[in-house]
Amino acid sequence: MIGIVIPAHNEEALLGDSLAAVLAAARHPDLGGEPVEIVVVLDACTDASAEIASAYGVSCVAVEVRNVGHARRRGAEWLLARGARWLAFTDADSVVAADWLPCQLNLKTDAVCGSVTVRDWGAHSAEVRARFDAGYRDRDGHRHVHGTNFGVSRAAYLAVGGFAPLAVGEDVALAAALERAGFAIAWSAAPRVATSARLVARARGGFGDFIDGLYRVGASVVDTSAQALGSAAALAETAE
């Protein structure tokens, strides 16, 4: 069985699109009929996110921590207990491609770090988009880490202890732990995910703040993993 984890905090505006996409991905013929289970981890939701998830027929787990690392970890635990052999992670503001799962699995590796595209640049200037396009490496070997486009085998995930309960950087910390343990990671542009560039970020220091930084200070795009792996690993050790 393949498992998909989607953390959500008050995502009623975008969750439906995300769930429609993962449900389509779960039916891809290249999966050969293998079961796919989807769990939405509702983290301190006070909106209609639970009702939307229920309407799409997916499973839900509720937590009250406002911590994306904890939410991803809780969803992974739920799926592993049900026998998942592969864990795929995305976000409630993101839309995965129909072939997202086979693209991860066909890489035949321990973990997959995929790149992202932006769903809608309408809230940002052409200059912000140009800065992003000029610096972001949307190609194989990119070295970006995004929790919204991440996959990992059951064995590798369990061997390194899974996601640390970090409010930000939990994805980078997990990639660092996998590299330290010698697991193979595919830094691939094949699994496609389009994510939000909304102005109000859900996680301080995450992708939303990164885009905001391009607007505010005209920053260049910084590698989202290679430079940060060491510091993220230190954060994970502190959290344990």
DSSP line for 185-239: EEEESSS-EEE---SS-SSTTSHHHHHHHHHHH-PPPPPSSTTTHHHHHHHHHHH
Sequence-distant (≥ 6) Cβ neighbours of residue 229 within 8 angstroms: 172, 175, 176, 179
Range of the domain at 136: 2-239
Q: What is the DSSP letter of 48?
A: S
Q: How many domains does the chain have?
A: 1
Residue 228 has pLDDT above 50, yes or no: no
Lowest average pLDDT, out of 18-32, 46-60, 126-140, 173-187, goes to 126-140
Question: pLDDT above 90 covers what percent of the chain?
Answer: 73
- What pLDDT is stored for residue 174 in this prediction? 98
Lowest average pLDDT, out of 78-82, 92-96, 139-143, 215-219, goes to 215-219
The alpha carbon of residue 4 and the mean position of all alpha carbons in its chain are separated, in whole angstroms, by: 10
Average the pLDDT over 145-151 and give the result: 97
- What pLDDT is stored for residue 202 in this prediction? 54
Give 85-101 pLDDT, tens digit per residue.
999 999 999 999 999 99
Residue 227 has pLDDT above 70, yes or no: no
- What pLDDT is stored for residue 198 in this prediction? 58
Residue 145 has pLDDT above 60, yes or no: yes
- What pLDDT is stored for residue 109 in this prediction? 98
Give 101-133 pLDDT, tens digit per residue.
999 999 999 999 999 998 777 666 678 778 787
Residue 207 has pLDDT above 60, yes or no: no
90 in helix, strand or coil? coil
What's the CATH code of the domain at 224? 3.90.550.10
Residue 48 has pLDDT above 60, yes or no: yes
Query: Mean of the per-residue pLDDT values for the chain?
Result: 86
Residue 140 has pLDDT above 60, yes or no: yes
